[in-house]
Amino acid sequence: MKPNILVVVTAVMACAMCARVRADAKVDFVKDIQPILQDSCIKCHGPEKQKGGLRLDSRAAALKGGKDGEVLLPGQADKSDLYRRITLSAGSDDIMPNKGDPLTKAQTDMIRDWINQGLVWPETAVAKATETVVAPPDTGLAGLTEIKPTPTETAAIAKIEASGVAVRPIAMNVTWREVNFHALGTNIADANLAPLKDVASVVDLNLAGTRVTDAGLQSLASLTNLVTLHLEHTKISDAGLANLKNLSHLAYLNLFDTGVTDQGIDQLKSLTKLKHLYLWQTKVTEQGAADLQKALPDLQISRGWESEPAAKKMAQSEPAKEEQKEEKKDEKK
C-alpha cells in the first residue's frame, strides 16, 4: 500500500513547525541557564577560581572572555567557543565541564538557543556555585548531651550500612555520627530511611539528590539531636516539613530546589536554633521569608542571587518606616 503523499507532506510540515516553535521558545536565564552554570561551571569559572582566566558568574565577566579571548558572541552560538566546547565528545581535552559528567543534549541545546536569542542575562543576576549553597556551617555540638549507643541503634546502623551507606563518627572518640545518603543518589528511597528513627546519635544527615518523599521524612521526626540536614534536589514539599518541627537542635537546613512554599517554612518557626536556611529555587516568596525572619531574628535565609538576605532587608526597611512615621506626624501638625 503506497503512502498518501498529502499525509506525508502534512506530517513533514507539522514536524518542521514544531521544530520552529521549539527554536523560537524564549529561554529564561534564571530558570533555564543559571542552574546549569551553578552546577557545572562556576566551580572552575567563578570568583574563587578562574580556569583560563574565564569567569561565568556574571554577564559582564562572561562577555569579557578569558585568556584566549571571547567565548560568548550574542546571537552567534555557532561562533561561540563556549558552545563549541560544551558539545565536544566526552573525553576530549577541551570539553567543558572538564570534570564530572558532560552536559546533556537538552542542556547544550538550551545554551545554544540562549546565545542565539541574544544572551539575555539580567545585570543583577550573579550565578553562584552550588557548593557555596550546600556547604554546612560550623555549628558545633553545643547543647547536646552525650549519649551511649543502644543495641537497637547498633542494629539500625548495621541495616543502613548494608544498603551501602556509611554511618561514621564525626570525629575521633565521639559517638555523634554523620550519615550520607547523597552518594547513592536516586538509588535511595523512603524505605532506606526507616532504620534512621532508631539512630539517635545522628547529627549530620545528607539526603540531597535522593528519591526521598514527604512520607520518608517521618523517619526523621525523632532525631532530636540532628544539627545539619540536606534536602536539596528532592521532591520534599510542605507536608514533609511538618516532620521537622521537633528537631530542636537543627541549625542548618538546605531546601534548595524543592517544592516548599511559605506555608511550609512557617512550620519552622519552632526551631529556635536554626541559623542557616537555603531556599534557592523554591516557591517561597520574599514575604514568606520575611515572616520567618521576624520569628527567628538570628536566622540567615538565602533565597539566591535574586534577593538580599531577609535580615538585611528588614534592617534596611526600619529607617524607612521611621521616616514614614515622622512624615505622618508632620502632616498632622
The CA distance from 27 to 32, in Å, is 7
Q: What is the reported pTM?
A: 0.55
The continuous run of DSSP H or E covering 318 comes out as helix 310-332
Q: Which residues of 45-77 are buried (b: 16+ CB within 10 A; e: fewer)?
A: bbeeebbeebbbbbbebbeebbeeeebbbbeeb
Three cell numbers written together for 307: 534577593
**In terms of pLDDT, which residue wins out, 173 or 286?**
286
Residue-level pLDDT at 142: 64
pLDDT, averaged across the chain: 81
- Report CA dihedral (192, 197, 199, 202) to the nearest 10 degrees: 90
124-164 pLDDT, tens digit per residue, is 555 555 443 334 444 456 677 778 888 999 999 999 998 88
Instruction: Looking at 28-130, list the stretches that DSSP marks H as alpha helix, in order from N- to C-terminal side.
Output: 34-40, 59-64, 81-86, 105-116
For the chain, domains (ranges, CATH) are: 27-129 (no CATH), 135-315 (3.80.10.10)
For 245-257, write each residue's pLDDT tens digit: 999 999 999 999 9
Q: Tell me the residue length of the chain.
A: 333
